[in-house]
Amino acid sequence: MEIYHPPVMLKEVIKYLKAEEGGIFIDATLGGGGHTEAILKANPKNRVIAIDRDEEAIERALKRLEPYGDRVSVYHANFSQVGEVLEAEGVDRVDGVLFDLGVSHFHLRGERGFTVWKEQPLDMRMDRRQKLTAKDVVNELSEKELAEIILKYGEERFARKIAREIVRRRKVKPIETTTELAKIVEDVIPKKLWIGKRKHPAVKTFQAIRIYVNRELEEIEQGIPAAAEHLDCGGRIVVITFHSLEDRLVKNIFKELPGFKVVTKKPIEPTEEEVKENPAARSAKLRATEKEC
């Protein structure tokens, strides 16, 4: 049996999208298709236009979504291209858009070097058509650029030291695997700060490099306003984020969207029950905004 990415805050997504009321929805981050399927089930008249930049995710989700026939269309694209996707679909206005950001269960369990816990080549591309990989970033950027990326996207206070050590080690031999990168970070961050803790000390550095490789923040900055242009009156944008950097960015983008009112004064968090069942949901935060009429 196929194991799917467990969709996070499923009930909350359906509620905040008002998916039971019926309409056309965009799932900007199809992944395993769990949210898309729930939207399709919420009302038999619902249609979903789904986007993902990962071809493997699309292949898997398509199998799951077969029973829904032409109620769902799937596009291999970046969500910043949502305008072009809608044009290809012949749709101008939609009733809701979901962004469930970040990596999926498949990325973490796969072989593209997204996790510090497995020895794999440093890749981290969500879209394999893209040229730039994590290995290029780690081996080719200057010490200053690496320090900036690790500080900005990882909010890692040891960023400068980590960058310096990366550059020192790659002079001896290129850094090619997740384990090599993780070991560099372990050697830089004082042991008393991480020994005995569950979180690996290199998690922030990995997050930073992944965000840079996939231009994740630029995608959010372009994707949300682009989707907003196609929302019908009363339609909503719902975004689930997984770290503070994304959440702050989404909060600020929402504030500046003309003609929208924020529905969630404070971000909605998963219930304790959900976190118990799916620990990966623990840092999720959901925000929603609505197009005013």
The residue among 116 and 226 lying less far from ligand SAM, judged by its C-beta, is 226
Give the β-pairing of 285-291 and 260-262: antiparallel
The residue among 175 and 213 lying less far from ligand SAM, judged by its C-beta, is 213
Shortest Å, Cβ 109 to ligand SAM: 12
Determine the residue with CB nearest ligand SAM.
31
Alpha-carbon span 209 to 129, nearest angstrom: 18
- 3-state SS record for 139-201: HHCCHHHHHHHHHHHHCCCCHHHHHHHHHHHHHHCCCCEHHHHHHHHHHHCCHHHCCCCCCCC
**Cβ–Cβ under 8 Å, residues 139 and 166:** no
Shortest Å, Cβ 116 to ligand SAM: 18
Shortest Å, Cβ 227 to ligand SAM: 11
The residue among 9 and 167 lying less far from ligand SAM, judged by its C-beta, is 9
The residue among 160 and 215 lying less far from ligand SAM, judged by its C-beta, is 215
Shortest Å, Cβ 79 to ligand SAM: 4
Cβ burial of 232 (10 Å; 0-12, 13-18, 19+) is middle
Shortest Å, Cβ 228 to ligand SAM: 16
Shortest Å, Cβ 293 to ligand SAM: 28
Shortest Å, Cβ 115 to ligand SAM: 14
Task: Starting at the earlier edge strand, list the strands of the sheet with 231-241.
Answer: 72-76, 47-52, 24-27, 94-100, 231-241, 285-291, 260-262
The residue among 7 and 201 lying less far from ligand SAM, judged by its C-beta, is 7
Helix (H, G, I), strand (E, B) or coil at 253: helix
Helix (H, G, I), strand (E, B) or coil at 56: helix
List of residues contacting ligand SAM (CB under 6 A): 5, 7, 29, 31-35, 51-54, 57, 78-79, 100, 102, 104, 126, 219
Alpha-carbon span 212 to 217, nearest angstrom: 8
Tokens at residue 235, please?
Answer: 């339609």
The residue among 23 and 34 lying less far from ligand SAM, judged by its C-beta, is 34
The residue among 53 and 204 lying less far from ligand SAM, judged by its C-beta, is 53
Q: Which is nearest to 100 in space by CA: 9, 39, 37, 23?
A: 9
The residue among 60 and 158 lying less far from ligand SAM, judged by its C-beta, is 60
Q: Which is nearest to 37 in space by CA: 79, 73, 65, 71?
A: 65
Strand partners, 72: 48
Alpha-carbon span 181 to 232, nearest angstrom: 46
Shortest Å, Cβ 223 to ligand SAM: 6
